[in-house]
């Protein structure tokens, strides 16, 4: 499976607070960033390192460098922006792109309205950021656009995932690994994740 579920006790604790309708905007943002960091730690567990010599107060030793310039964080607007601050605290020199998508009311398909990435993105490992992997429509559209740009190394970081969205991603792009904090029960008739946390964008930005 392409799903990598980070189901640890600290993650369950933080996810439970995110679900809670009483959690305010400030706390929701902070927790989303903290969870994004945890997921990114796991995603980079076996990342390649460059060896160099470092001198301690005692003697010379082998050092290891994670080249942050090799990575791009690509939030899907607008909710994906809620994961960016936490990730940039973890990897402040990572590159940042943005992709904006909306759903056409007639075709119900995602339409790109904004796309800005580093010019050399095809040589990077790109992390698509979206708190919710529900129907996977936006994620699939973003992956298709990135593939057209020649990007081969792709991962997705989300907080809540629905089985329906995970299946769609696995069927279409089995080489894209999903790092999620929670695999929830299902989607409801309106396409919301159950139990989920409601609309992550609204809760992140206090717009509802």
What pLDDT does 21 receive? 95
3-state secondary structure 106-157: CCCCEEEEEEECCCCHHHCEEEEECCEECCCHHHHHHHHHHHHCCCCEEEEE
Q: Please say if 199 is a catalytic residue.
A: yes
Do residues 140 and 108 make contact, with C-beta atoms less than 8 angstroms apart?
no
Q: Please say if 85 is a catalytic residue.
A: no
Q: Which residues contact 41 (CB under 8 A, 6 or more apart)?
A: 90
Task: Identify the CATH class of 3-48+67-205.
Answer: alpha beta
What pLDDT does 108 receive? 60
What pLDDT does 105 receive? 66
pLDDT in tens, 70-89: 999 999 998 999 999 999 99
Please state the domain extents for the chain.
Answer: 3-48+67-205
Average pLDDT over residues 58-76: 96
pLDDT in tens, 142-182: 999 999 999 999 999 999 999 999 999 999 999 999 999 99
> What does residue 66 show for φ and ψ, rounded to 5 degrees?
-90, 115
What pLDDT does 164 receive? 95
- Out of 19, 78, 85, 202, pick the active-site residue: 202
What pLDDT does 110 receive? 80
What pTM does this model have? 0.93
What pLDDT does 24 receive? 95
Total residues found in the chain within this entry: 208
Q: Which residues contact 55 (CB under 8 A, 6 or more apart)?
A: 61
> What does residue 155 show for φ and ψ, rounded to 5 degrees?
-140, 165
What pLDDT does 158 receive? 97
With vertex at residue 85, the alpha carbon angle to CA 120 and CA 22, rounded to the nearest 5 degrees, is 140
Q: Tokens 């927790």 label which residue?
A: 31
Residue 101 pLDDT exceeds 90: no
Dihedral of alpha carbons 117, 99, 181, 178, sign: negative
What pLDDT does 1 receive? 58
- Out of 19, 23, 70, 199, pick the active-site residue: 199
Pull the structure tokens for residue 116: 């800005």
Q: Please say if 202 is a catalytic residue.
A: yes
Q: Please say if 107 is a catalytic residue.
A: yes
């Amino acid at each position: 499976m392409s799903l990598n579920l980070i189901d640890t006790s600290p993650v369950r604790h933080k996810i439970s607070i995110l679900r809670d309708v009483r959690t305010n905007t400030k706390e929701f943002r902070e927790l989303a960033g903290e969870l994004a960091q945890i997921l990114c730690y796991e995603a980079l567990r076996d990342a390649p390192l460059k060896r160099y010599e470092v001198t301690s107060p005692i003697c010379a030793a082998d050092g290891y460098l994670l080249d942050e310039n090799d990575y791009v964080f690509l939030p899907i607007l607008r909710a994906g922006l809620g994961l960016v601050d936490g990730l940039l605290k973890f990897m402040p020199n990572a590159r940042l792109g943005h992709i904006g998508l909306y759903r056409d009311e007639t075709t119900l398909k995602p339409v790109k309205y904004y796309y800005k990435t580093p010019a050399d993105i095809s040589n990077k490992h790109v992390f698509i950021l979206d708190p919710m992997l529900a129907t996977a429509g936006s994620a699939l559209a973003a992956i298709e656009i990135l593939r057209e740009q020649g990007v081969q190394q792709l991962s997705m970081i989300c907080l809540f995932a629905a089985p329906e969205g995970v299946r769609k991603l696995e069927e279409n792009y089995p080489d894209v690994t999903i790092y999620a904090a929670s695999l929830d029960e299902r989607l409801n008739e309106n396409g919301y994740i159950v139990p989920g946390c409601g609309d992550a964008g609204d809760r992140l930005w206090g717009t509802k």
